[in-house]
Amino acid sequence: MTSPRRAPAEQCCERLALSVLSLILSIFPVSVALHDLTAGGCAIIRPPRDGGIRYRGLTQEQIRSVQILPVDYEIEYICRGSRVIVGPKVRKCLPNGTWTEMSQRSRCLLQCPHVWMSLEDGQVEVWPPGAPVEGTMLQYSCLSGFNLWGRNTSLCTKLGKWDSPKPVCEFDRNYTESGQFAVVCRVADRTGSGS
């Protein structure tokens, strides 16, 4: 059997259909790949700025070549230098092709010195609680009988430094527990001589 010869209009439509199909395939391979990801694992994600990712059980060569990690695989963020991770430190590949806690951003931030977080004869409130990183605010106050010298707040900057010197609590020599001013007197010791 010989196939009937097609008309030029039919050939044109066939070529047009093939062109459209090629165009669709060139536009949508990403969607196809994403569909395959949901069935078999999670796409590699980028580490936070100034950080990296620890891939357990993979060689450097495997890390460079892998694009999809299996379901239940865990990655761990690590930070460079004296930076600390803020946000999720570990993420796990879920069966739906996503990583855990992706709504929470992970960042590598410089820490401010911990010595600012305590105050002799006073107290320090830290907000938000946790490591003193960029954006951490300290509020200082002194115990009864002491006066605060310096600013009562300090903010940790993105450079890992507090924006003001650490204040001090100095004893108020005129303070009494009843809130009244004390009268300083000379008291004779038992031998009768004044002190």
Domains in the chain (CATH in brackets) are 38-110 (2.10.70.10), 111-195 (2.10.70.10)
pLDDT at residue 20, as a whole number: 43
Give the number of other CB atoms < 10 A from CB of residue 37: 18
Cβ–Cβ under 8 Å, residues 115 and 166: yes
Of the candidates 73, 74, 72, 71, the one whose C-alpha atom is nearest the C-alpha of residue 36 is 71
Tell me the one-letter amino acid at 114: H
Instruction: Identify the DSSP state of 186.
Output: -
Separation between Cα atoms, residue 182 and residue 127, nearest integer Å: 37
Compute the C-alpha angle 104/108/110, nearest 5°: 130
pLDDT at residue 14, as a whole number: 56
pLDDT at residue 51, as a whole number: 94
Low-confidence ranges of the chain (pLDDT < 50): 1, 3, 13, 17-18, 20-38, 180-195
pLDDT at residue 11, as a whole number: 58
DSSP reduced 3-state for 157 = coil
Beta strands in the chain (DSSP E): 42-43, 51-55, 68-69, 74-79, 83-86, 90-92, 107-110, 122-127, 137-142, 146-149, 153-155, 168-171
Write the pLDDT tens digit of every residue in 10-27: 555 455 544 543 443 344
pLDDT at residue 155, as a whole number: 97
pTM above 0.75, yes or no: no
pLDDT at residue 130, as a whole number: 87
